[in-house]
């Protein structure tokens, strides 16, 4: 599987349904993995690229909603699309509150299914992109030396060079040197931008953006 | 004088025996009808009619007036009991007539009985003057007393008329309520024969008709009419009851299927989902430049299998919905029944997060009986198990259905992992209207028991040592049948 390949998981205890959905999605060009129980799916390896799971709501043992809650708990970035035999309103409300992408009724037409999968994968793509962005930023901030970090902290706090110098017990000139290095390494042009990048780098993006 | 063969003795003895036998027949029906009071009266009437015939016969062969008088008094008592029982029977069986008539009849006849037994020479008795011998037309002599007819004697005749009026009223009530057969057979029969006896007896008393008293035969005819009616009604009731029971079983079954309708829809939805996705996948594969025909072939195979799967559920449902309820004594295959029921219930069980496991004995002999009814019992037990586990954590909800061949029977058990059954509930489980479910009617298990017992089997429940309860039933196997491989 290549780095960016989108994976679609199908979790349905009915083997025949799982097999059919698997074929359809492979036919539509996705990498597909089919599981016949929520437990088996939970134990599967974490995908590299964006992923989504087509999950049957009612299954013996762990059901669809429990599986979704597990994924949220474990911080696993997998968009969930529910499939159900009957439109159960309380279950659909709970599913959407837990962050499900869609709630589809069986038998499902390919256009609805593929659309929901696209939405789910796009959302995962964005999450991954923003996470990569903040990872890159964090890398830039990580390259700062100890003294530069101290200066950065105080700049972000809104202190003037003079105040920083007094705070750290160094000359204002040295502060200026450190500060320009910080600006250079992080790519920020103004103090305000520096502050924004600093915040962005320290925010770990989870599911919703 | 007396011929060695007495036709009179034969006829009257037969009358005694016939009345008595009819009475006994009534007792047997009476028992089946929960000892309804009207049967007490008809039984009493049969016994009194039997004794009446006996005393009539004794009178015919009395040689002195004192003996004759004694039998005459006893016979009068019997007639009183017969008429009173008849009127009370008519009141209960046909309908109420006027109360005053009833009271008058009782008073007049009581006076008559007291007069005849205690004061034979008193004003309201029939005074016996002397004995005479008369011959029948075939030449057999018998004794009969010459009686002095007194004005007070007409009271009894008046009472007979009142009895007729009362019977007419009763019959009319029965007729109006649509009980026409009763009105005609019981009411009409009684009126006819009382009229005949009521005309014949005074004619004998007056010496106009020279025959013995023949009240016994009139009574025998009435007793026979009553017995005929009561037995035919009991028979009809029994068939009605059976039909009602079967209909109730069918309705319960349809009720159960209704309860799991959502589950059945879900179960049919699965193959439909697979068929649609498979077909759309096939369309995509075929649109490719070099379609993988093997893949397409697999898809078509799957579509066929799923279609058959949906079809088998629908086929089984149809059998459970419309079925005339005559117990077919064909060979029924328990494993097939388990498979069909689990197929029908898969959706419902899935919705309730229940895992259904089946452990079916590979070589199970066929049982005698009706597969649909066995399916009903299984479905009832599995649904009960499902309801019992509504508070059980999802991951431990499990139902195991096992079939085991035992000595001359097949054992079927349904075990759950619910809370089990308390010891004091165990003996009552199969009683009608006993229920452990909040919205249960308590008829399911009672019906299960009836079905199993009709098949000559038995059903019982027990608590499991670890968790939950197990319901078992055993059905006798059909002899000389080939074992059907599972």
Question: What confidence tens digit (pLDDT) does each residue in A168-191 have?
Answer: 888 888 888 888 888 888 888 888
- Has residue B438 got a pLDDT over 70? no
* A96 and A23 inside one domain: yes
User: A75 lies in a domain?
Assistant: yes
CATH fold of the domain at B331-486: Heat Shock Protein 90 (3.30.565)
Q: Which residues of A touch B274 (CB under 8 A)?
A: 14, 16-17, 19-20
pLDDT tens digits, residue range B250-262?
Answer: 888 888 888 888 8
The domain boundary, picked from A133, A157, A192, lies at A133
Indicate the angle between helix axes B334-351 and B293-321, nearest 10 degrees: 100
* A157 and A122 inside one domain: no
Q: Which CATH number fits domain B7-244: 3.40.50, 1.10.4160, 1.10.3470, 1.20.1070?
A: 1.20.1070
* A67 and A96 inside one domain: yes
Segment of A46-55, A192-201, B57-66, B388-397 carrying the highest mean pLDDT: B57-66
pLDDT computed for residue A209 by the predictor: 36
Q: What is the CATH number of the domain that holds A35?
A: 3.40.50.2300
Between chains, do A24 and B295 touch, taking CB under 8 Å as contact? no
Reported as a pLDDT band with limits 50, 70 and 90, residue B324 is low
Q: Count each helix (H run) and each strand (E run) in chain A, helices first.
A: 9, 5
User: A209 lies in a domain?
Assistant: no
Beta pairing, strands A31-35 & A51-56: unpaired
Between chains, do B350 and A60 touch, taking CB under 8 Å as contact? yes
The dihedral region occupied by B126, where left means phi > 0, alpha psi between -120 and 50, and beta the remainder, is beta
The token duo for A146 is: 């100890």
End-to-end CA distance of chain B: 86
Q: What is the CATH number of the domain that holds A156?
A: 1.10.10.10
Give the contacts of A198 (CB within 8 A, at least 6 positions apart).
A141, A152, A156, A186
Between chains, do A63 and B394 touch, taking CB under 8 Å as contact? yes
Q: Indicate the helix (H) or strand (E) that contains A158.
A: none
Reported as a pLDDT band with limits 50, 70 and 90, residue B439 is low
* A158 and A185 inside one domain: yes
Between chains, do B271 and A16 touch, taking CB under 8 Å as contact? yes
User: A2 lies in a domain?
Assistant: no
The dihedral region occupied by A187, where left means phi > 0, alpha psi between -120 and 50, and beta the remainder, is left
Nearest CA in chain B to A26: B281
d(CA B165, CA B167): 5
* A93 and A113 inside one domain: yes
Q: In this predicted model, which residue has the larger pLDDT, B267 or B476?
A: B476
Reported as a pLDDT band with limits 50, 70 and 90, residue A1 is very low
Number of domains comprising chain A: 2
Q: Indicate the helix (H) or strand (E) that contains B278.
A: helix B261-287
- Would you list the domain boundaries of chain B? 7-244, 260-322, 331-486
pLDDT computed for residue B480 by the predictor: 56
Q: Which residue has the tokens 């911080």?
A: A75
Quote the mean pLDDT of chain B.
86
* A148 and A120 inside one domain: no
* A153 and A127 inside one domain: no
3-state DSSP assignment of residue B403: strand
Nearest CA in chain A to B357: A60
pLDDT computed for residue B358 by the predictor: 92
Closest by alpha carbon to A60, among B202, B349, B111? B349
* A124 and A155 inside one domain: no
Segment of A77-81, A134-138, B31-35 carrying the highest mean pLDDT: A77-81
What residues make up the domain containing A161? 143-202
What is the sign of the dihedral through the CA atoms of B182, B185, B189 and B190? negative
Q: What is the ipTM of this complex?
A: 0.73
Q: Which long-range contacts (CB under 8 A, 24 or more apart) does B304-308 make?
A: B305/A16, B306/A16, B306/B271, B306/B272, B306/B274, B306/B275, B306/B278, B307/B271, B307/B275
d(CA B363, CA B484): 6
CA B467 to mean position of chain CA atoms: 41
Reported as a pLDDT band with limits 50, 70 and 90, residue A207 is very low
- Read off the pTM: 0.58
User: A91 lies in a domain?
Assistant: yes
Reported as a pLDDT band with limits 50, 70 and 90, residue B455 is confident
d(CA A27, CA A152): 53
d(CA B372, CA B383): 16
- Contact B342/A at CB under 8 A: no
* A120 and A58 inside one domain: yes
Between chains, do A60 and B353 touch, taking CB under 8 Å as contact? yes
- The neighbour count for residue B96, using CB atoms within 10 Å, is 13
Cα of A157 to nearest chain B Cα, Å: 53
d(CA A116, CA A104): 9
User: A138 lies in a domain?
Assistant: no
- Contact B278/A at CB under 8 A: yes
Between chains, do A23 and B278 touch, taking CB under 8 Å as contact? yes
User: A150 lies in a domain?
Assistant: yes
Cβ atoms of B415 and B402 closer than 8 Å: yes
Cβ atoms of B485 and B363 closer than 8 Å: yes
d(CA B390, CA B398): 11
């Amino acid at each position: 599987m290549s780095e960016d390949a989108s994976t679609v998981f199908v979790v349905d205890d009915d083997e025949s349904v799982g097999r059919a959905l698997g074929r359809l999605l492979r036919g539509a060009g996705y990498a597909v993995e089919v599981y016949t129980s929520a437990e088996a799916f939970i134990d599967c390896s974490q995908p590299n690229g964006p992923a989504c799971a087509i999950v049957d709501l009612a299954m013996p043992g762990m059901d669809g909603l429990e599986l979704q809650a597990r994924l949220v708990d474990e911080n696993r970035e997998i968009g969930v699309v529910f499939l159900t035999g009957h439109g159960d309103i309380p279950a659909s409300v709970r599913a959407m509150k837990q962050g499900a992408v869609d709630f589809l009724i069986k038998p499902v037409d390919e256009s609805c299914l593929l659309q929901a999968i696209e939405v789910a994968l796009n959302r995962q793509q964005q999450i991954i992109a923003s996470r990569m962005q903040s990872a890159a930023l964090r890398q830039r901030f990580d390259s700062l030396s100890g003294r530069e970090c101290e200066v950065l902290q105080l700049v972000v706090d809104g202190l003037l060079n003079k105040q920083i110098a007094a705070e750290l017990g160094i000359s204002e000139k040295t502060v200026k040197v450190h500060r320009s290095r910080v600006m250079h390494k992080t790519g920020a042009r103004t103090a305000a931008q520096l502050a924004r990048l600093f915040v962005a780098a320290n925010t770990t993006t989870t599911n919703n953006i | 004088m007396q011929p060695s063969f007495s036709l009179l003795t034969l006829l009257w003895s037969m009358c005694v025996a016939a009345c008595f036998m009819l009475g006994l027949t009534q007792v047997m029906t009476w028992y089946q009808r929960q000892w309804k009071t009207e049967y007490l009266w008809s039984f009493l009437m049969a016994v009194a009619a039997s004794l009446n015939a006996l005393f009539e016969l004794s009178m015919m062969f009395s040689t002195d007036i004192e003996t004759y008088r004694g039998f005459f008094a006893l016979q009068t008592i019997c007639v009183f009991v017969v008429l009173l029982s008849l009127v009370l029977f008519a009141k209960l069986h046909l309908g109420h007539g006027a109360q005053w008539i009833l009271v008058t009849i009782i008073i007049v006849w009581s006076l008559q009985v007291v007069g005849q037994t205690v004061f034979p020479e008193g004003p309201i008795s029939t005074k016996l003057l002397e004995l005479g011998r008369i011959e029948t037309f075939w030449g057999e002599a018998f004794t009969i007393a010459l009686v002095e007819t007194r004005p007070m004697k007409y009271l009894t005749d008046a009472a007979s008329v009142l009895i007729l009026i009362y019977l007419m009223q009763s019959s009319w009530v029965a007729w109006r309520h649509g009980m026409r057969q009763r009105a005609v057979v019981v009411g009409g029969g009684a009126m006819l024969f009382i009229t005949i006896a009521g005309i014949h007896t005074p004619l004998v008393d007056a010496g106009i008709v020279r025959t013995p008293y023949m009240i016994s035969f009139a009574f025998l005819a009435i007793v026979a009419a009553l017995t005929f009616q009561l037995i035919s009604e009991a028979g009809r009731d029994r068939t009605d009851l059976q039909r009602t029971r079967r209909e109730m079983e069918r309705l319960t079954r349809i009720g159960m299927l209704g309860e799991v309708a959502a589950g059945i829809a879900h179960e049919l939805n699965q193959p439909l989902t697979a068929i649609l996705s498979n077909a759309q996948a096939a369309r995509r594969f075929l649109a490719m430049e070099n379609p993988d025909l093997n893949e397409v072939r697999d898809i078509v195979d799957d579509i066929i299998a799923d279609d058959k799967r949906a079809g088998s559920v629908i086929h089984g449902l149809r059998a459970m919905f419309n079925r005339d309820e005559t117990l077919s004594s064909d060979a029924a295959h328990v494993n097939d029944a388990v498979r069909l029921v689990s197929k029908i219930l898969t959706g419902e069980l899935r919705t309730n997060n229940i895992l259904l496991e089946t452990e079916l004995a590979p070589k199970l002999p066929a049982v005698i009986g009706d597969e649909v009814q066995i399916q009903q019992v299984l479905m009832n037990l599995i649904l009960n198990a499902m309801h019992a586990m509504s508070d059980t954590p999802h991951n431990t909800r499990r139902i195991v259905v096992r079939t085991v061949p035992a000595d001359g029977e097949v054992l079927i058990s349904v075990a759950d992992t619910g809370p089990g059954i308390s010891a004091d509930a165990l003996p009552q489980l199969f009683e009608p209207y006993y229920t452990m479910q909040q919205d249960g009617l308590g008829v399911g298990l009672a019906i299960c028991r009836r079905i199993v017992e009709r098949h000559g089997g038995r059903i019982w429940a027990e608590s499991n040592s670890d968790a939950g309860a197990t319901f078992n039933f055993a059905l006798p196997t059909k002899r000389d049948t080939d074992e059907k491989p599972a």
